[in-house]
Amino acid sequence: MVNYRYLGNSGLKINEITYGNWLTHGSQVENETAIACVRAALDVGITTFDTADVYANTKAEEVLGEALKGQRRESLTILTKVYWPTGPKGPNDCGLSRKHIIESIDGSLKRLGTDYVDLYQAHRYDTETPLEETMLAFADIVRSGKALYIGVSEWTAEQIRAGHALARELHVPLISNQPQYSMLWRVIEAEVVPTSQELGLSQIVFSPVAQGVLSGKYRPGAPLPDGSRATDEKGGATFIKRWLEDDILAAVQGLRPIAEELGLTMAQLAVAWVLQNPNVAAALIGASRPEQVAENAKASGVRIPAELMARIDTTLGGRPQRDPAMTAKGAPRTRPC
């Protein structure tokens, strides 16, 4: 069964392997399969589920709500997010204005079929809205009981520090950041992680398997596997293409002996690797088939010896991206609506 960890300096525990439905529910997989994946997650002890209003333009929240119908709400931890455009994508249908946040939480709750979410996250930093306005809106949502805790996603260390200061003034619990993190994408290690540790936030990391590249199924010089994310024109291919260089794929194949030494698949090794970071509370996994959930869940509780962590670094060499400026570089400069 999947273990739990505390989220930030709070009393809330979440699964260290959390089920996320980005790029899958309402998009890449049929609803029946998506519901089967959620049930497979519940079967292995995953009770923490992460989604966002933007995923499949709100359909992912609807599918997750349907999949969790009938479950004891108090036994679940449900996470969602706000920022990206939804609906008709009008001028106020995105961002972190008070209007968009207040309207978005009500829409998310309706789609998820719940009266509250456990964690409500700012999906990116909004450069066009005063941070004070954003944080006050989040505080009002917490005080109304519609969210229990708040978090952010892909904020820089400086933005996290500013948001935390306001949250503290408003007496609301800002306890997490949700960044990309994997063996190949380590940009949070230099600044975001130390700042978060200082302030009492944890990381809930996405793409721990680097869009599937760290599973080892993509080989240098070989055709892309049929039905893989790299061949998905609904969005998957866009996100994975940066990793599909032969030099990177060859280095990833060098991780196979390390995985075998630990009795793990390469995907399990990738998930276990991010969980070695003490500031990581959870690794998000998605799935297009129920059996993938059960396989990835086996990474829970794995401890990778220091000598093998060092071998991973040696094997990958200078290929991982480590520049902390990449967090800001990848963020929207203006509202995307």
For residue 187, what is the enclosing H or E element? none
**DSSP output for 33-53:** HHHHHHHHHHHTT--EEE--T
Do residues 82 and 44 lie in contact, with contact meaning Cβ atoms separated by under 8 Å? no
DSSP 135-167: HHHHHHHHHHTSEEEEEESS--HHHHHHHHHHH
Q: How far apart are CA 251 and CA 262, in angstroms?
A: 18
Q: Which of 4, 19, 55, 120 is catalytic?
A: 55
Which is it for strands 4-6 and 13-15: parallel, antiparallel or unpaired? antiparallel
Burial class (CB within 10 angstroms; exposed 0-12, middle 13-18, buried 19+) of 91 = exposed
Q: Read off the amino acid at residue 61.
A: E
55 part of the active site: yes
Residue with tokens 């959930």: 293
Active site residues: 55
